């Protein structure tokens, strides 16, 4: 990709936009990683008891959701970051539902 600029202002604008896109992507990955870390911690805390792990994770996620929401308002996080967090929560919820026998869910 070849890029040329007419002035320094155009160059700064171009770089700022690219930096914003990269930062938003990193923030979305960070949100997903936070959910993954919660699930791993819940599994470790609950050993091999899948039901207990799912319940522990739900407690952890519900405890951090308000904090995450407040931070997103304070830091003005992009919608894509909040969506990445929600999608990862839904993903793990689905994993736990599929893994548990029907009489345990």
* This model's pTM is above 0.85: no
Span 11-39, pLDDT tens digits: 888 888 888 888 888 888 888 888 888 88
Number of other CB atoms surrounding residue 105 within 10 Å: 11
Span 38-89, pLDDT tens digits: 888 787 677 667 778 778 878 877 776 655 554 554 466 778 877 888 888 8
DSSP, res 7? S
89 burial class (0-12, 13-18, 19+ CB within 10 angstroms)?
buried
Query: Structural domain boundaries of the chain?
Result: 31-99
6 burial class (0-12, 13-18, 19+ CB within 10 angstroms)?
exposed
């Amino acid at each position: 990709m070849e890029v040329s600029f007419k002035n320094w202002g155009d160059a700064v604008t171009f770089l700022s936009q690219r930096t914003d896109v990269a930062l938003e992507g990193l923030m979305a990955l960070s949100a997903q990683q936070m959910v993954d870390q919660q699930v791993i911690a819940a599994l470790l805390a609950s050993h091999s008891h899948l039901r207990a792990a799912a319940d522990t994770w739900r407690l952890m996620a519900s405890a951090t959701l308000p904090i995450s929401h407040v931070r997103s308002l304070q830091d003005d996080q992009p919608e894509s970051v909040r969506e990445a967090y929600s999608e990862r929560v839904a993903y793990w919820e689905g994993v736990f539902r599929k893994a548990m026998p029907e009489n345990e869910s």
